[in-house]
């Protein structure tokens, strides 16, 4: 049996956080069982309650760092239940250096560096013209953006990443810049090997290839059209911590019914 776990609202412990309210409603109306967890549980300092023994637990919530996810898996197991996604699969789709080698032909060329690397020299060596910079998980969302055209600019970008993200997760990923058509990016989910699109969209071939090559039971694939018409994977992510982006909560719940019915 599948059981969904949502972060609770800090003001009202009987409700899911507002951000997840529509998903909670759609999944429970579809007949799935669900319960709430506190920040303390996600931080690993409190046990989990209300998770039935024997079920497979799907988390729907904020992004978790490696240690946080490991601790979530542990508290789920202490209930006699199992995590739908094990830590290995979580990291496979959450960290770019893990999924990139499986789909290098479908996504911008990428090099991975330790945080202490001399990035100015590395970018000069690559000579790509423009570079998209992120850590293992996220890019910088401030006004300056994540694109570097002059290798020397990378130093201030990394400093800003440290400031706004608190820390660099894992290391630095340098991606070859590709010109995407604005607003062409769409999110797809792959659940138990089956790729699904939001209402009104069809699943592009690149997503089907991801479903064949990436062995996790639940992940997201973001796809954009490049200016030359090529269909490209921009990012892969763990399905549990991916926002719905263009999906209704009911379409999301229907996908789960199809996969488990």
CB of 172 to ligand ADP, least distance (A): 13
- The interface with ligand ADP within residues 56-75 (CB under 6 A) comprises none
Q: Is 212 exposed, middle or buried (0-12, 13-18, 19+ CB in 10 A)?
A: exposed
Q: Is 238 in the site for Mg ion (CB under 5 A)?
A: no
CA distance 50 to 35: 6
Q: Which of 75, 234, 253, 255 binds ligand ADP (CB under 6 A)?
A: 234
Q: Is 235 in the site for Mg ion (CB under 5 A)?
A: yes
Length of the chain: 261
Among 27-35, 95-103, 117-125, 233-241, which window interacts with Mg ion (CB under 5 A)?
233-241
Among 3-11, 192-200, 201-209, 232-240, which window interacts with Mg ion (CB under 5 A)?
232-240
253 SS3 class: helix
Q: Is 45 exposed, middle or buried (0-12, 13-18, 19+ CB in 10 A)?
A: exposed
Query: What spatial distance separates the first Cα and last Cα of the chain, rounded to whole Å?
Result: 10
Q: Which of 137, 149, 214 is nearest to 176 (CA)?
A: 149
Q: Is 134 in the site for ligand ADP (CB under 6 A)?
A: yes
CB of 138 to Mg ion, least distance (A): 8
* x/- track of binding to ligand ADP for residues 106-125 (CB under 6 A): --x-----------------
Q: Is 239 in the site for ligand ADP (CB under 6 A)?
A: no
CB of 136 to ligand ADP, least distance (A): 10
Task: Kindly tell me which of 216 and 242 has the beta carbon lying closer to Mg ion.
Answer: 242
CB of 235 to ligand ADP, least distance (A): 4
178 SS3 class: coil
CA dihedral (10, 36, 64, 261) positive or negative: negative
Q: Is 138 in the site for ligand ADP (CB under 6 A)?
A: yes
Q: Which of 209, 219, 217 is nearest to 239 (CA)?
A: 219
Among 48-56, 177-185, 208-216, 242-250, which window interacts with ligand ADP (CB under 6 A)?
177-185
- List of E strands, 150-204: 172-176, 186-191, 194-196
Q: Which of 132, 189, 218, 219 binds ligand ADP (CB under 6 A)?
A: 132
Among 87-95, 133-141, 200-208, 243-251, which window interacts with ligand ADP (CB under 6 A)?
133-141
Q: Which residues contact 99 (CB under 8 A, 6 or more apart)?
A: 92, 93, 214, 236
Q: Which residues contact 215 (CB under 8 A, 6 or more apart)?
A: 89, 92
Kindly list the residues in this chain that would bind Mg ion in the complex (CB under 5 A). Answer: 235
Kindly list the residues in this chain that would bind ligand ADP in the complex (CB under 6 A). Answer: 108, 132, 134, 138-139, 175-178, 180, 185, 222, 234-235
């Amino acid at each position: 049996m599948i059981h969904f776990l949502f972060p609770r609202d800090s003001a009202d412990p009987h409700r899911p956080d507002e951000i997840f309210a529509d998903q909670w409603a759609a999944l429970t109306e579809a007949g799935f069982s669900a319960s709430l967890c506190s920040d303390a549980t996600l931080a690993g300092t409190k046990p989990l309650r209300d998770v039935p023994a024997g079920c497979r637990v799907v988390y729907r919530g904020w992004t978790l760092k490696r240690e946080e996810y490991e601790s979530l898996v542990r508290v789920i197991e202490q209930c006699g239940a199992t995590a739908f996604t094990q830590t290995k699969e979580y990291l496979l789709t959450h960290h770019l250096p893990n999924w990139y080698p499986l789909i290098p032909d479908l996504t911008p060329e990428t090099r991975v560096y330790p945080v202490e690397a001399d990035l100015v020299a590395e970018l000069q060596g690559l000579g790509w013209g423009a570079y998209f910079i992120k850590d293992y998980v996220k890019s910088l969302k401030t006004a300056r953006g994540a694109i570097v055209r002059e290798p020397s600019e990378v130093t201030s970008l990394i400093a800003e990443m440290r400031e706004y993200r608190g820390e660099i997760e894992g290391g630095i990923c340098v991606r070859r810049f590709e010109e995407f058509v604005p607003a062409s990016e769409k999110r797809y989910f792959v659940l138990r090997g089956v790729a699904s699109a939001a209402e009104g969209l069809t699943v592009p071939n690149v997503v089907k290839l991801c479903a064949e090559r990436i062995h996790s039971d639940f992940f997201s694939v973001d796809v954009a059209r490049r200016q030359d018409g090529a269909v490209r994977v921009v990012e892969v992510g763990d399905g549990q911590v991916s926002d719905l982006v263009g999906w209704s909560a009911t379409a999301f719940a229907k996908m789960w019914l199809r996969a488990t019915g």
